[in-house]
Amino acid sequence: MDARFWLLQLFNGVSYGALLFLLGSGLSLIFGVMRIVNLAHGTFFLLAGYVGLAVISGTGSWWLAIPAAALAIALLGVAMERLFLRPLGSEPLRQVLLTFGFVLLIQQATLDIWGGSNFEINPPAALMHSLVLGGLYLPLYRIFIIAVAAAIGVLLSLVLDRTRAGAVVRATVDDAQMARGVGIDTSRVSMLTFGLGALLAGLGGVIGGAFLGIYPGLDFEILPLAFAVVIIGGMGSLAGAAIGAIVVGLADNFGKVLFPQASYFTLYAPLVLLLAIRPTGLFGRE
């Protein structure tokens, strides 16, 4: 276990964190704007993987699969919000259970269409190489994930901080009632946020399909990690989601290496402490 080993683990942790950022940032926005615990978020991720797979087998283009699957999931999210979540008003518990109903429906649908076997998405050959850096072999694909997550993060934070639409979202996160009071259509904000969150999850699903694989049960394996990201970062905070994602990515990776018998415990126990001390997360605002 030399320095190179630890550097590689660090790199793996950060790249896993980048993937979790795609998943967690959307969940965090949904959480912040709508106060919904979306249990279907991991299932969006998984479904996107399957859709991406179908697009690849249909068109042969991996580059097309990413936007196509992400858009499909975004549409699904918008429909779900409009038709089912919105009519419930603000009843968090019932909304949670409703999203779980969709988990079951989508799981069964994917099982019917794609069966129970494990799939893997093969990225284009150009991304299959490794970058050799100071004796370290860094898979290009993981660098690609980090780049995508960074680009999305920068883009989202520019939109949130610099545009009117972003200001509207931030206002809704801070105080939805007040936002309505000044004439913001929070219902539309909710719909678009849910769609955006689903889109990001979809993006993550296709991209993550290459190194996590695609299989039944993946959705609920990754969902608690996405929640961990949101908890650490605080709901509705993009910067928080970024830091939370890297922390969870590193904690997951190093936990498995250092304390294999207690690796998930070492991830969730600090979360409990954090929540108890600062329920709104590191960057969340009450």
Partner 1 sequence: MKGHRKPLAVLALLFAVAVLTPHTTPFVLLLVTRILILAILAMSLDLLLGFTGIASLGHAAFLGLGAYMTAILAVRYNFGLGWGFPLVILFGSLLGAATAALFGLFALRARGVYFLMITLALSQCVWGLAYRWDSLTGGDNGLNLPGRPVLGVIRLGNDTAFFYLVFACFAVSLLALYLFVQSPFGKSLVGIREHEVRMRILGYNTWLHKYIVFVVSGAFGGLAGVLWAHVSSEVSPDDVTLATSVDVLLMVVLGGPGTLFGGVVGAAIVVFLREYLSTLVPWWQYVLGGAYVLAILYLPDGVLSIFRQRPPPLAAGPVSAEALTPSPGPGDELKINQGGIE
Q: Which of 22-30, 155-163, 185-193, 225-233 is the region at the interface with partner 1 (rule: CB under 8 A)? A: 225-233
Report d(CA 178, CA 188) in Å as an integer: 15
Instruction: Report the relative pairing of strands 130-133 and 136-139 from DSSP bridges.
Output: antiparallel
Q: CB-wise, 176 or 238, nearer to partner 1? A: 176
CB of 234 to partner 1, least distance (A): 11
Degrees to nearest 5, angle at CA 279 with 149 and 171 = 60
Query: Is residue 35 a contact residue for partner 1 (CB under 8 A)?
Result: yes
Q: Select the residue interacting with partner 1 from 194, 227, 254, 283 (CB under 8 A).
A: 227
Which are the contacts of 26, defined by CB distance < 8 A and separation ≥ 6?
41, 196, 197, 198, 199, 200, 201
Rg of the chain, C-alpha, whole Å: 19
CB of 107 to partner 1, least distance (A): 6
CB of 256 to partner 1, least distance (A): 9
CB of 189 to partner 1, least distance (A): 18
Quote the DSSP letter at residue 90: S
**How far, in Å, are 19, 153, 160, 234, 253 from residue 240 at the CA level?**
15, 11, 14, 6, 20
Q: Would the CA dihedral through 277, 279, 283, 286 be positive or negative?
A: negative
Q: Which of 59-67, 121-129, 230-238, 241-249 is the region at the interface with partner 1 (rule: CB under 8 A)? A: 230-238
Q: CB-wise, 56 or 271, nearer to partner 1? A: 271
Query: Is residue 258 a contact residue for partner 1 (CB under 8 A)?
Result: no
Query: Is residue 93 a contact residue for partner 1 (CB under 8 A)?
Result: yes
Quote the DSSP letter at residue 121: P
Q: CB-wise, 154 or 275, nearer to partner 1? A: 275
Q: Select the residue interacting with partner 1 from 4, 105, 158, 161 (CB under 8 A).
A: 105
Q: Which of 6-14, 119-127, 147-155, 262-270 is the region at the interface with partner 1 (rule: CB under 8 A)? A: 262-270
Q: Select the residue interacting with partner 1 from 9, 54, 263, 282 (CB under 8 A).
A: 263
Q: State phi, psi for 246 to the nearest 5 degrees.
A: -70, -40
Q: State phi, psi for 134 to the nearest 5 degrees.
A: 55, 40
- Is the separation of the CB atoms in 161 and 4 below 8 Å? no
User: Contact positions toward partner 1, by CB under 8 A?
Assistant: 31, 35, 37, 39, 84, 87-88, 90-94, 96-98, 100-105, 107-108, 111-112, 220, 223-224, 227-228, 230-231, 235, 260-265, 267-269, 271-273, 275-277, 279-280
